[in-house]
DNA sequence: GCCAACGTTGGC
DNA sequence: GCCAACGTTGGC
């Protein structure tokens, strides 16, 4: 399976919270701050009401693994492996639950855009590629007994009627606080239900 | 524990 | 191709 690279572009002008986190760290990186329970997106780790659904966004470079590649996969499902960033891992491992909906974002693309919706078809389990010395994602610190890296299974739900480009997201005020824009280099980020509605409305044109 | 060097993502 | 802004590494 193609590598889903952990990353995201940092906000051009860091929000005050980001600046504070970067300036006052000692104990935590910026990503750790953002993904901690006390951070701006801590809510996505809290217990939820039974049946409540949460929303996420994952990135993939289309040359590595595209939306069409997902549609062509058995059961239109893929193992989302290759995440090698702790903050992204935390969202994936601790946040994502069965049935959650996930935007599929093409990064480093022309244009970079959200192109489809998937769902979590299987909750987190260890990333086997981290155990394989022959694999790009090999990490000798991750062992079967104490795995560092995890995957979820994602199944395609539907393509967006129209892709929602990064440019559209950036010029939409209601999306200014999206984790996609505000925290850097994360391949897995939370999406609020309000943001989800706005984006799906944009996709319908 | 500090921090400079380095590697990476990904928009532009 | 450039480079900002991250995370990681390793010398001390």
How far in angstroms lies nucleotide B6's C1' from the CA of residue A3? Answer: 22
Within 7 Å: CB of A189 and strand B?
no
How far in angstroms lies nucleotide C9's C1' from the CA of residue A55? Answer: 34
pTM to 2 decimal places: 0.86
Q: How far apart are the first and last CA of chain A?
A: 33
Q: List the Cα angle A21/A59/A9 in 5-degree steps.
A: 40
Q: Which of A156, A154, A161 is nearest to A200 (CA)?
A: A161
Q: What's the rounded Cα separation, in Å, for the pair A65 and A171?
A: 27
Least confident range of A40-49, A114-123, A141-150, A159-168? A40-49
Q: Which of A159, A74, A152 is nearest to A117 (CA)?
A: A159
Q: Which has more pLDDT, A144 or A34?
A: A144
What pLDDT, on a 0 to 100 scale, did the predictor assign at position A26?
A: 39
Residue with minimal CA–C1' distance to B9 is: A7
What pLDDT, on a 0 to 100 scale, did the predictor assign at position A79?
A: 97
Residue-wise pLDDT tens digits, A95-111: 999 999 999 999 999 99
Longest dimension (CA), chain A: 49
Q: Which has more pLDDT, A80 or A27?
A: A80
Nearest nucleotide from residue A19 CA, by C1' atom: C5
What pLDDT, on a 0 to 100 scale, did the predictor assign at position A85?
A: 93
Residue-wise pLDDT tens digits, A34-86: 777 777 788 899 999 998 999 999 999 999 999 999 999 999 999 999 999 99
Question: CATH assignment of A47-203, given 3.90.180.10, 3.20.20.10, 3.10.590.10, 1.10.3720.10?
Answer: 3.10.590.10
Residue-wise pLDDT tens digits, A165-203: 999 999 999 999 999 998 878 999 999 999 999 999 999
Which residues does nucleic strand C approach, with CB less than 7 A? A 10-14, 18, 22, 29-32, 85-87, 184-185
Question: What ranges do the domains of chain A cover?
Answer: 47-203
Within 7 Å: CB of A59 and strand B?
yes
Nearest nucleotide from residue A141 CA, by C1' atom: C8
The SS3 assignment for A14 reads coil
Residue with tokens 């909750």: A123
What pLDDT, on a 0 to 100 scale, did the predictor assign at position A4?
A: 56
């Amino acid at each position: 399976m193609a590598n889903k690279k952990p990353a995201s572009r940092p906000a051009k002008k860091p929000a005050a919270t980001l600046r504070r986190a970067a300036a006052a760290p000692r104990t935590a990186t910026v990503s750790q701050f953002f993904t901690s329970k006390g951070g701006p997106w801590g809510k996505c780790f809290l217990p939820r009401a039974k049946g409540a659904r949460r929303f996420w966004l994952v990135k993939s470079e289309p040359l590595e693994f595209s939306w069409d590649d997902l549609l062509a996969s058995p059961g239109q499902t893929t193992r989302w492996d290759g995440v090698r960033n702790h903050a992204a891992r935390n969202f994936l491992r601790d946040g994502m639950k069965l049935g959650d909906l996930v935007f599929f974002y093409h990064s480093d693309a022309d244009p970079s855009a959200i192109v489809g919706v998937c769902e979590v078809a299987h909750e987190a389990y260890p990333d086997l590629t981290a155990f394989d010395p022959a694999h790009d994602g090999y990490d000798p610190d991750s062992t079967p007994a104490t795995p560092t890296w995890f995957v979820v299974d994602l199944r395609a739900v539907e393509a967006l009627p129209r892709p929602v480009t990064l440019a559209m997201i950036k010029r939409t005020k209601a999306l200014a606080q999206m984790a996609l824009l505000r925290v850097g280099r994360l391949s897995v980020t939370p999406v609020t239900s309000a943001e989800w509605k706005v984006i799906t409305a944009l996709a319908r044109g």
